[in-house]
Amino acid sequence: MKLTTAQFKTDFLNEIKTLYATDLNDTSALGQFIALGHLVRRYDGSQWTKTSEKYRKKDRKQVYYFSIEFLPGRLLKSNLLNLGLLDTVRAGLKELELDFETISAAEPDPGLGNGGLGRLAACYMDSMASLGIAGNGNGIRYRYGLFKQVFMDGYQVELPDDWLRNGNVWEIRRENKACLVRFGGNVWMQPQADGQLQPVYEQTDDVLAVPYDVGMIGYRNDVTNTLRLWSAELPPSADNAYYSQEQRDRIDDITKVLYPDDSNSEGQALRLRQEYFFSSAGVQSIIRHYGLRHQGMRELGKKIAIHINDTHPTLVIPELMRLLMDDHHCSWDVAWALTTQVMSYTNHTILQEALETWPIDMFKGLLPRIYQIVVEIDRRYRAAKTPIFGEDLVNRTAPLGNGQVRMAYLAVIGSHSVNGVAPLHTELLKNDVLRDLYQVYPERFNNKTNGIATRRWVQLANEPLSQLIDSKISPEWRQQPSQLKTLMAYQKDAKFLKQLTTVKQTNKQALAAYIKQNLGIEVRTDAIFDVQIKRLHAYKRQLLHVLEIIREYLDLKAHPATKAPAHVHIFGAKAAPSYHYAKAIIKLINALADLVNHDPDIGDRLKVVFIPNYGVSLGELIIPAADISEQISTASKEASGTSNMKLMANGAVSLATLDGANIDIIQAAGEANEYPFGLTAKAVYGYYERGDYRSVDFYQADPELKRVLDALVDGTIPGITTEGREIYDSLLRYNDEFFVLADYESYVQQQRQISQDFQDQTKWQQKALANIAAAGIFSADLAVARYADDIWQVPHTLLQD
């Protein structure tokens, strides 16, 4: 849109006056942010309305992306960028003697997700809008987001994330679109005059689902889509029924707090209530919207697509069946054909403990009608498939088994498409986790490698790099990240490579300033910034990184004259509050940091920095400053990874196992430009099959490794107590579940190589450049276009090369 600086200033000052009845000098950065937010909403308002009208007029097929998590990050800057107003607003604020960055930092960062899965959903919302896809998000408006992490005495302490304290400028409460979601009670089927059966509900607990809509603004294309987040409230009771405090709490609790578990299924009834709550409300609103425009349900499959982001929204399958049969009087067969045509499912993990199952008793009690439908899905599946695949396979794959409702199986059976998120992951789904179902439905399985929003992760997070890129190649890369590959023409341009170093320095200074101010640690910006940012989990192996730090420390102590570049190890990671082992690792890292950072023998040559409360906003600060991207999960365990892509796009070089999308990154940028190491997935599976992994052998064979491991228990790291022993035991007594010791040697070797290679900055920046140039293929726009083409079958405006 068009806006002059002068006009913006007038609008902004008016907004301040209207909102606060005072003048600019009397407002805080937060107040200024809120005013700006309102203004942006106003600038975008007509675009949002027009988008819905356009979709309606053209009767466009709608995509609904269901996800129990969305991690959008702060929206002010990205909304301004996408509306084309960022420069104008910056200039206007500057003339008013205000600092845009300070105002922007006052925006709360909504932590409505745990990690990769939630952030991916947000990247895809941005891409759907930017590709002109009629895409809608559907999720939960948690009153409290993921906990805020602080460290006390090196231990993680969780504080509530009261992100709505000052309201949310981006949302619109739509009370008129609220609907009821039913829990519990009894249901029985009553025959009607026409012979049809209608459910009769008794003594149900009804919850009012109220939607809050957030505009998802496309990149300079006049499109604004909707992310709809549901909040649970007391229903308006016609007979003024009295609700006990307990009933009120039970309703409030549904959307009160995000489960802080990444890659782990809690199995709690409250979680199941959350899942059905947003699945039911979402499907009800879809059907109502569809019904306003269409006669009957015949066209449903042509007009809507529902995407299930991991198994948490799987109940959309029986819920759609319920609405089609009970409310719209479809036969089972018609309803089932429509449902499978509409649904598609993405799996994000092969970890056993993450695969959701619900005890049948719990499920039946909470969702009696839905349970009846699942029983019928199960019955029909068994009847149809047993003659072809035999009883054993069918028993293993049916939605109901071992007293459980098996969500992943239900998702596969009720969808027309099942995808993994990187080629290796999809292969493992087919050959391992979902092997039996792959026999039954081979045509449903496909891969969709993850992607990232380059606009947020490069254009916004790394403006110095973006400007440097603009000075060399056409700004088209901003719309079409695949164009980044043309940067390879500068592989031998010494001046350009120097400029890359300068850009990195600038970003490192910004991060170093944050570290100094918040943690009191001083780091050299000519050091290697070695970054591992992700949830804390044993399979992600922060521990392997820790062992390397201990090795470097002991090495520097023993050989003070060693010439090597300074090394700063940077961690960001939250542990699930009940994940004891992960918390022990946090304590270990903090204790090690304490030791290393205060050792006068070490000085500024080695630093360990654990930045608390890692999330989207800190990612935007850390990622542009990274030299090394630590992607060191045990091969086969990380479905894809997405921080690997973000770091690569910002010129960090991957130190990586052959896991998830690391494989594709290494292939894209060239092996010579990364530091691959470790067991392959095949080798890991080989150990499983033979059962002959013996971690102690590695300990005994390598004196250096022995010295490093002993440091966990011999008092070398004074800050730890039982944690050292626990971790030591996990590696040696309990045989090192994640093959840390097997990969230690090759990891250390690559770390040594990095220390050497970093000294030649020309060569180093050539590697960085190869990474930046190859990162375009991991753009979320491309990934979403593939979903649109292959799965949802909707048009989009992706510019192809």
- Interface residue list for ligand NBX (CB under 6 A): 114-117, 120, 261-265, 310, 348-349, 354, 356, 421, 450, 638-642, 660
Helix, strand and coil content of the chain, in percent to the nearest 5, comes to 55, 15, 30
Question: Is residue 646 annotated as a catalytic residue, yes or no?
Answer: yes
Length of the chain: 801
- Beta strands per DSSP E along 563-632: 567-572, 606-610, 628-631
Per annotation, catalytic residue among 311, 449, 525, 642: 642
Per annotation, catalytic residue among 646, 767, 786, 796: 646
Lookup result for tokens 């341009």: 493
Return d(Cα 629, Cα 428) in angstroms, integer. 24
Q: Which residue is nearest to ligand NBX (CB)?
A: 116
Question: Is residue 348 annotated as a catalytic residue, yes or no?
Answer: yes
Taking the least distance from each CB to ligand NBX, the nearer of 274 and 650 is 274
Per annotation, catalytic residue among 535, 605, 637, 796: 535
Taking the least distance from each CB to ligand NBX, the nearer of 480 and 631 is 631
Query: In which element (H, E) is residue 24 found?
Result: none
The nearest distance, CB 581 to ligand NBX, in angstroms, is 17
Contact (Cβ atoms closer than 8 angstroms) between residue 32 and residue 15: no
The nearest distance, CB 534 to ligand NBX, in angstroms, is 9
Beta carbons within 8 Å of 559's beta carbon, 6+ residues apart: none
Return the closest-CA partner of residue 306 out of 348, 339, 331, 336.
Answer: 339
Instruction: Say how far residue 755 (Cα) sits from the centre of its chain.
Output: 32
The nearest distance, CB 356 to ligand NBX, in angstroms, is 6
Per annotation, catalytic residue among 534, 574, 587, 786: 534
Question: Is residue 725 annotated as a catalytic residue, yes or no?
Answer: no
Taking the least distance from each CB to ligand NBX, the nearer of 667 and 759 is 667
Taking the least distance from each CB to ligand NBX, the nearer of 67 and 224 is 67
Taking the least distance from each CB to ligand NBX, the nearer of 268 and 518 is 268
Lookup result for tokens 């879809």: 286
The nearest distance, CB 185 to ligand NBX, in angstroms, is 27
Contact (Cβ atoms closer than 8 angstroms) between residue 397 and residue 409: yes
Return the closest-CA partner of residue 788 out of 395, 377, 227, 307.
Answer: 307
Return d(Cα 63, Cα 792) in angstroms, integer. 7
Torsion angle in degrees (nearest 10) through CA of 120, 123, 128, 129: 150
Per annotation, catalytic residue among 348, 456, 478, 767: 348
Question: Is residue 642 annotated as a catalytic residue, yes or no?
Answer: yes
What sign does the CA torsion over 559, 560, 561, 562 have? positive
The nearest distance, CB 263 to ligand NBX, in angstroms, is 5
With 0-12 CB in 10 A as exposed, 13-18 as middle and 19+ as buried, what is 165? Answer: exposed
The nearest distance, CB 425 to ligand NBX, in angstroms, is 8
The nearest distance, CB 141 to ligand NBX, in angstroms, is 19
The nearest distance, CB 310 to ligand NBX, in angstroms, is 5
Taking the least distance from each CB to ligand NBX, the nearer of 161 and 356 is 356
The nearest distance, CB 660 to ligand NBX, in angstroms, is 5
Return the closest-CA partner of residue 320 out of 344, 307, 336.
Answer: 336
Per annotation, catalytic residue among 289, 540, 551, 786: 540
Return d(Cα 312, Cα 407) in angstroms, integer. 8
Buried b or exposed e, range 490-499, using 16+ CB within 10 angstroms: beeeeebbeb
Query: In which element (H, E) is residue 438 found?
Result: helix 435-440
Contact (Cβ atoms closer than 8 angstroms) between residue 588 and residue 708: no
Taking the least distance from each CB to ligand NBX, the nearer of 262 and 319 is 262
Q: Are strands 179-183 and 171-173 parallel, antiparallel or unpaired?
A: unpaired
Instruction: Tell me the one-letter amino acid at 42.
Output: R
Taking the least distance from each CB to ligand NBX, the nearer of 661 and 708 is 661
Taking the least distance from each CB to ligand NBX, the nearer of 120 and 210 is 120
Residues serving a catalytic function are 348, 534-535, 540, 642, 646
